Structures are given as C-alpha cells and as structure tokens.
C-alpha cells in the first residue's frame, strides 16, 4: 500500500518551507532514513529523510515551491503501484491531530463538502495564490490538467467567466515593469532566509514595545586581556574575539537583573523568567540573518564559548547548522562592531525581551578627570521590551554591564 511522506512539524514555530533540491526522482528505489529532499525553512536548510523504503511513485512539489507543514511531499510504494491523487485542501489538517502523526500515511487537506462527499482539490501553491489574488473560490474551478489538476489557465478562465463586459476587455495579465520613470529596476524574489527574516522582524516590531538605550564602556582592560588570551586560544585552534568576554559580562549583569532574561506570555499574563542562560549570537549570512544559540554560557569557560561561537557561525554560513542549535535562546547579542558603526537600534529576537548590539571598539576622544583623552571605547546599544522592563532597570543593567567590562579583576578571573 502506498504511503505518503508529509512535511513534518520540525518545531520552533516553523509552518512552511521552500523546496531547495530534490535528491531523488520518480521511479527511484529509496531506503528508510534516506535523505530525499532539502527544504529551506526560516531557520536553516533541512535535510528530510524518508520514514519509508520503497519506490518513489510521485513527487508532489517542484523545486522553489513553498510547502506547508502537513502537506504531502512524496508518495512511496511498491514498484508498478499507482499513486493515488493527493487531496490538498485550502486548510491543511495539523499533524498529530486530525492527520495522525507528523510523518505517516494519513490523508491531509481534505475539503469536506458533506458527510457523504469528499472533494479533492489538486492545485499547486502558485495556482492557489493566483486564485486568492483574483478572488476565485478554487473549489468552484474545474481542473483540466492531469488527473483533474487545476492550472493557472483554469483559474484565469474562471475569472474571465465572472467578469463584466468592461472587465472582459482587460487582459488578465500581471505586469511587472522593468523600468519606472527614473530608470531600470531589478526585482529580487523574497525567498529563504531573507523572507523568514522579514516575517520575524515584522512580528517583533508589531508585538513588543521596543526601546533602545545607548551607552559606552572603556575597553582598555578588555583589549589587554583579550590580547593575552588570543595567543593561548590560537594554540588550541580557537579564534578568540572580544565576544566571549562580553558574554561573560552580560551573564553577570543578567544575574543581577533577571527580568532581561525572560519572555512575556500575553495569554497567561505572566513574565516568564528563565533560570538558564542561552545566548543567541546573530550571524550575518549572504541572504539574511541566522541566530544560533550558545547553550549554558554560565557553565562554560571563555575558551569553550569562543569555540562554540566559531563552530556555530561556520555552520550557519554553510547552512548546515542543526535546528537544535537555533532553539532555546534567552538573550541575544548582535556584534555589529566587526563591520563598523557607532550606534544601532537592534530589533528584539522575539519572544526574548532584550538584545544587545556591540559596536566597533576603537580609539575615541573622551573627557576623563577634566582632560580630553584618546581611549579605546566600546559603544553598547540595548533594545528592550518596555512592557516587561522599565527604562531605569535597563539603565541599571547597562551600568552593571559596563562596570564588569571595565573591571580588570573580573576580566582576569575569566582567563
């Protein structure tokens, strides 16, 4: 009996992904746990292993198609067996409930017209999107494609049939201009990490009341200690940056100000303070931003933290980072200083309630003891959720953070 392999729920709120590459084709014999497809989610490129062995009878999506959790990716069965059409409804049954397990032979997305009748709707996500844009109820469209599949032409024909005489004169064509009044245009599809980043940033700014507090720390001692440990770390094959020291200073400040290591549950009307310390480190990749998480920073040395950052950043850039390494963050740091800049307003990594941007360490003119001096300084920008944290508490946190970064005894204790 043919089995259907559905896009499983991989957790962390992921609801859809884009097909990057099929590693099998129809007719191929596959083994259980063999990777059959690469899917790009808003977190990483995920390799999907098949839970079944057998022959690939049908591949239901093409590369670059967007597939939602619970939709059937491929049908697997015996050689020569016929793959039955997969009903893909407007609303997809959620795995683990009406559709059974996240991976399994259950039928997903059936639109029930009545108790006696179940109608199958066969259409790609692209066709469904077109129907939505044109205001067409896709259930009313008769498909002329293979096995009754609804095509773009079918949807446009349905729209034409609904049109008034004036509308019938207008061509049902969506025009994307290559030039505007001022010159040439380039259109870049919003896909993959960039698309996911856009969605998450929109969610963050529309949910939390975000305020940014800016200050700076003198970095003379930080620079001195980092130079000492850099040589030791190099001998161990570890790249030592300023970031592990900053992480340890942030940890100490968070322990004194636990509200910044928390999340807000609006449903339960509770502030959930995390008693563990997992720091998300923003990594710049060509098409967006990925935030892998260094777990248990309170239990690790600066060398272990530096090694974790190095490995996670490399995996993020290669898009091989494990999904488990993208979960569980309690506080985030974005190190803009490695590129440059004096100040920034970082956006919260929702549902976290605070994020720190570290800027470029360099010589700056400051007034000290009534004299203007050139001193190495580190600008710090803290964005916090004002629903949870007051401005005074954020300022106290920053004062404690700066005190740790400037404290030679504290920094020396880390090495």
Which residue, 162, 87, 154, is CA-closest to 118?
87
From CA 89, how far away is CA 117, in angstroms rounded? Answer: 14
pLDDT digits (tens, 9 = 90+) for 128-174: 878 887 888 887 888 888 777 888 888 888 888 775 554 444 444 45
From CA 95, how far away is CA 99, in angstroms rounded? Answer: 5
pLDDT of residue 163: 58
Q: Any idea what the Cα angle at residue 91 is, between residues 86 and 95, rounded to 5°?
A: 75
From CA 73, how far away is CA 243, in angstroms rounded? Answer: 42
Name residues whose C-beta falls within 8 Å of residue 195's C-beta, 6 or more positions apart in sequence: 42
For the record, the structure tokens of 242 come out as 């300023």
pLDDT digits (tens, 9 = 90+) for 286-330: 877 899 999 999 999 999 999 999 999 999 988 888 888 999 999
Burial of 9 (0-12, 13-18, 19+ CB in 10 A): middle
Ordered DSSP codes for 101-139: SSSSS-----EESSSS-EE-----HHHHHHHHHHT--GG
pLDDT digits (tens, 9 = 90+) for 114-126: 333 334 577 777 7
pLDDT digits (tens, 9 = 90+) for 196-253: 888 888 889 888 999 999 999 999 999 999 999 998 899 889 999 999 999 999 999 9
Domains of the chain: 3-121 (2.40.50.100), 193-413 (3.30.559.10)
For the record, the structure tokens of 377 come out as 């300084």
| 385 secondary structure, DSSP code | E
Task: Please identify every residue annotated as catalytic.
Answer: 386
Name residues whose C-beta falls within 8 Å of residue 199's C-beta, 6 or more positions apart in sequence: 42
pLDDT digits (tens, 9 = 90+) for 246-265: 999 999 999 999 999 999 99
pLDDT of residue 376: 94
Contact yes or no for 405/388 (Cβ under 8 A):
no
From CA 199, how far away is CA 61, in angstroms rounded? Answer: 23
Chain mean position to CA 125: 21
**Residue 398 belongs to what H/E stretch?**
helix 391-406
What are the backbone dihedrals phi and psi of residue 236, each rounded to the nearest 5 degrees, phi first?
A: -95, 5
pLDDT digits (tens, 9 = 90+) for 401-410: 999 999 999 9
**Residue 366 belongs to what H/E stretch?**
strand 362-368
Which residue, 91, 84, 38, 90, is CA-closest to 65?
38
pLDDT digits (tens, 9 = 90+) for 344-357: 999 999 999 999 99
Residue 77 has pLDDT above 60, yes or no: yes
């Amino acid at each position: 009996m043919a089995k259907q392999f559905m896009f499983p729920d991989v957790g962390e709120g992921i609801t859809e992904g884009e097909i990057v590459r099929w590693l099998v084709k129809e007719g191929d014999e596959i083994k259980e746990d063999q990777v059959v497809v690469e899917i790009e989610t808003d977190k990483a490129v995920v390799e999907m292993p098949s839970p079944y062995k057998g022959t690939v009878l049908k591949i239901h999506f093409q590369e670059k198609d967007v597939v939602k959790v619970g939709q059937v990716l491929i049908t697997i069965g015996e050689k020569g067996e016929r793959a039955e059409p997969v009903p893909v409804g407007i609303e997809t049954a959620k795995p683990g409930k009406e559709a059974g397990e996240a991976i399994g032979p259950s039928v997903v997305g059936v639109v029930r017209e009545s108790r006696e009748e179940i109608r199958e709707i066969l259409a790609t996500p692209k066709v469904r999107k077109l129907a939505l844009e044109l205001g067409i109820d896709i259930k009313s469209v008769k498909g002329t494609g293979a096995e009754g599949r609804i095509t773009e032409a079918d949807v446009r024909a349905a729209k034409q049939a609904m049109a008034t005489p004036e509308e019938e004169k207008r061509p049902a064509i969506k025009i994307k201009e290559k030039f505007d009044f001022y010159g040439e245009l380039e259109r870049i599809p919003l896909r993959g990490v960039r698309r996911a980043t856009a969605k998450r940033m929109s969610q963050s700014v529309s949910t939390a009341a975000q305020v940014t507090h800016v200050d700076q720390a003198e970095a003379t001692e930080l620079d001195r200690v980092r130079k000492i440990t850099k040589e030791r770390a190099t001998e161990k094959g570890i790249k030592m940056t300023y970031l592990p020291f900053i992480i340890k200073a942030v940890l100490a400040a968070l322990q004194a100000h636990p509200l910044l290591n928390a999340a807000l549950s609006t449903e339960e009307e509770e502030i959930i303070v995390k008693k563990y310390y997992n720091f998300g480190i923003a990594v710049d990749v060509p098409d967006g931003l990925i935030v892998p998480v260094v777990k248990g920073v309170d239990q690790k040395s600066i060398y272990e933290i530096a090694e974790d950052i190095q490995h996670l950043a490399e995996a993020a850039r290669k898009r091989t980072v494990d999904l488990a390494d993208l979960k569980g963050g309690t506080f985030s740091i974005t190190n803009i200083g490695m590129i440059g800049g004096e100040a920034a307003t970082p956006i919260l990594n929702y549902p976290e309630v605070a994020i720190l941007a570290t800027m470029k360490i360099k010589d700056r003119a400051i007034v000290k003891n009534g004299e203007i001096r050139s001193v190495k300084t580190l600008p710090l920008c803290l964005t916090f959720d004002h629903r949870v944290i007051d401005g005074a508490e954020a300022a106290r946190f920053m004062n404690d953070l700066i005190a740790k970064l400037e404290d030679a005894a504290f920094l020396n204790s880390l090495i």
